[in-house]
Chains A and B, each alone.
Chain A
Amino acid sequence: MKGGINGTRHLQQRPSETFVRYAARRAIAERELLWNLLLRDLRSRYRRSTIGWLWSMINPAVMTAIYTFVFTVFFHVKPAPGIPSGMTAYAFYLLGGLLPWNALVNGVTGASAALVGGGGLMAKVRFAREHLVFATVLAMSTTLLAELSVLALMELIGGYVVLQLLPIVLLLVLLLTMFIAGVSLVVAALNLRYRDVQHLMSIGFLVWFYLTPVIYPVGLIPEKFSIGGATLPLRTILGMNPMSRFVLAFRNCFFDVTLPGIGTMVGLVAISFTTFSVGYRFFIRRAPWFVEEL
């Protein structure tokens, strides 16, 4: 029997089917919708500006200029030279972490806004609600790829060739996309229901930003940290931050110009699949009632 609305009503999760596979099956069933939402996002974002896509490059460029100035002139922070690249430029060091970080922040905030903005659509049309979130996150990943290409180009001008790492960079972007999607699904669903989530979000990202070695080298974190007589293995604790691992892996590619270790990659696969599954489960359990919460 043919399924219901848009052929997706029969898309119930099969027993023993993982959330990742289930999400993929639903995305494939509505691939046209997802593709068009993604196009809408990309097309409309810079439609009314004269320099268009260049806008997405300006924010990282300005942030790089500021941080480079503050950290190299005021604080004299010097990242340890990349191994084996020997790269020392703080700008490259920073961008390797800042670009994935921006993708996370823009993805999560954008997805939350997209779900609220898609309210009218959800009230009128039946479709898999998560695709509003996915379209935004995928748009951010597309932007990230464009920005990374520019970074690679700048490094090429500086004499460093990173093109051979393209397959691993694509894999990293894919895993990061899954991770961002997982976080976005939870935050976007909560944001629809509770009005203070957007405020908590900006505070949360601020704290998370400084817990992630984006602007400072990991070497600056003390190994041990004593507080009230207790000694904490600070570097190990901060190392558990999933975003740190992504940042370090991207930095392997764009600063050290080498492959991330196999342990790192296995860890990232585990992080992204787990985050995605938890987020997806959280989201689709609540999705049937989104219309009523608006």
Chain B
Amino acid sequence: MSAIKCRDAGKVFRRFSERNQTLKQVVARRRRAVFTEHWAVRDLTLEIAEGETFGIIGGNGAGKSTTLKLLAGILVPDEGSVQVTGRVSALLELGAGFHPELSGRENVFLNGAILGMSRKTLLTRFDDIVGFAGLEESIDEPVKTYSSGMFARLGFAVAVNVDPDILLLDEVLAVGDEVFQRRCGEKVAELRSSGKTVVIVSHGLQELRKMCRTIAWIDHGTVKAVGPSIDVVNEYLESTRDQQRISSDGLVHTGTGIVTTFVRTHPEVVVQDGSAEFEFTIDCAEAIVEPRLGFTIRSSDGTPVVGHTMPLPTLAVGTHRSTYRMGRIPLTPGHYEIATWFGDRNGVELDSCLTASGFEVKPPSGGSHDFGLLTLGGTWETT
């Protein structure tokens, strides 16, 4: 029996160029609002069997989150139908509805009720929830004093105790430290083995491949491929590899488009053996767990001179800055190109740019005595 059935489901969003935003305009203009329609999801046909762990992958803006919201009943389809059989718990955000002034204890009951739990169930599971979140000591403190990790842990602990028939997860596993993530993984596995249907939207392709038997790849609001997880993930990776796009800086980037990295050199003209720094700007449209950032410096004829990669802490949605400082640039005078690379912790490339930036190395005041690409920076002593 299928838990979820979507038939030709579509959701259109209106982008208003001229909208009646006030009652006054409605009365005074007597004109209809001007808008363009944008189908976030269209002709989406999916069938998810009861007890299945189902993954949804796709690039940024492909319609994954809209799909999940349609399944959760938060959005209503504009065409087609979405049929969900069973009790649904949607974890689109942890701790939705937490009130900062209230204590953790009060918020457990509030959040539990929002997710549809009865007070009786909550009372019997309260200790489990607090234990799972590891917050025995601060449960009576106001939530505003919690760290973001504590906040997320408490939210997740309540949500997995809702005891749903169908659990919808949107990238929520990407929060918290490693220990907590492992526990989340275990909890999901536990739900799966007890016959619950789990639908996960994620960019963690490797985890998804491990957890799900079936994966749907959503692209441009419709199902591009659905089938055994290995095949779909491989097909998806194949397509992203040569997926090129022009980013906001006008450069050609390849990758999924979830992340865009830019780099600038300070100064733009470096003196041989002088100091310099590379300032990386990382735009994340979604949270990325423990990514890696790397760069390669090439000489003007394309020869790689040096490469470097660096593990970063988990990045939240937003713009981040990373600076690489060098006390001495051991390069001979000439022009150099910098290529950037950004990947997830499993080495899947999320963004790369071959011509991200460049810089000039000019000879020191006394002229350069070096040839080749590198300067060794040694000193002479003649006796």
Residues of A bordering B, CB below 8 Å? 1-7, 9, 30, 32-33, 35-37, 39-40, 43-44, 47-48, 120-127, 190, 194-197, 200, 288-289, 291-292
Q: Are A4 and B26 in contact (CB under 8 A)?
A: no
Across the two chains, which residue of chain A brings its CB closest to B22? A196
Q: Are A5 and B113 in contact (CB under 8 A)?
A: no
A-B contact pairs, 22 of them (CB 8 A): A4-B87, A5-B84, A6-B87, A6-B88, A32-B116, A33-B114, A36-B110, A40-B99, A40-B110, A43-B101, A43-B102, A44-B102, A48-B101, A123-B69, A124-B74, A124-B90, A125-B92, A126-B73, A195-B22, A197-B23, A291-B69, A291-B75
Which among A30, A35, A48, A122 is the interface contact of B74 at CB below 8 angstroms?
A122
Q: Are B73 and A9 in contact (CB under 8 A)?
A: yes
Q: Are A200 and B23 in contact (CB under 8 A)?
A: yes
Q: Are A120 and B96 in contact (CB under 8 A)?
A: yes
Residues on A with beta carbons closer than 8 Å to the beta carbon of B85 = 1-2, 4
Which among A6, A43, A200 is the interface contact of B116 at CB below 8 angstroms?
A6
Q: Are A36 and B109 in contact (CB under 8 A)?
A: yes
Q: Are B22 and A36 in contact (CB under 8 A)?
A: no
A-B contacts besides A4-B86, A32-B113, A124-B96, 10 pairs, CB < 8 Å: A4-B85, A5-B88, A32-B112, A32-B119, A36-B109, A121-B114, A125-B97, A194-B21, A194-B26, A291-B74
Q: Are A125 and B23 in contact (CB under 8 A)?
A: no
Residues on B with beta carbons closer than 8 Å to the beta carbon of A195 = 21-22
Residues on A with beta carbons closer than 8 Å to the beta carbon of B75 = 291-292
Residues on A with beta carbons closer than 8 Å to the beta carbon of B99 = 40, 44
Residues on B with beta carbons closer than 8 Å to the beta carbon of A196 = 22-24
Across the two chains, which residue of chain A brings its CB closest to B11? A292
Give CA–CA (A195, B114) in the complex, Å. 28
Residues on A with beta carbons closer than 8 Å to the beta carbon of B90 = 5, 124-126
Q: Are B110 and A4 in contact (CB under 8 A)?
A: no
B72 CB-CB contact with A under 8 Å: yes
Q: Are A125 and B88 in contact (CB under 8 A)?
A: no
B93 CB-CB contact with A under 8 Å: yes
Residues on A with beta carbons closer than 8 Å to the beta carbon of B165 = 2
Q: Shortest 9 CB-CB distances between A and B: which pairs? A: A6-B116, A36-B113, A196-B22, A124-B96, A32-B113, A126-B73, A124-B92, A33-B113, A36-B110
Residues on A with beta carbons closer than 8 Å to the beta carbon of B316 = none
Q: What's the least CB distance linking B40 to chain A, in Å?
A: 10
Across the two chains, which residue of chain A brings its CB closest to B26? A194
Q: Are B110 and A5 in contact (CB under 8 A)?
A: no
Give CA–CA (A39, B114) in the complex, Å. 13
Q: Are B110 and A39 in contact (CB under 8 A)?
A: yes
Q: Are B26 and A124 in contact (CB under 8 A)?
A: no
Give CA–CA (A288, B342) in the complex, Å. 40
Q: What's the least CB distance linking A281 to chain B, in Å?
A: 18
Q: Are A36 and B114 in contact (CB under 8 A)?
A: yes
Q: What's the least CB distance linking B118 to chain A, in Å?
A: 6
Which among B22, B92, B110 is the interface contact of A37 at CB below 8 angstroms?
B110
Across the two chains, which residue of chain A brings its CB closest to B84? A4
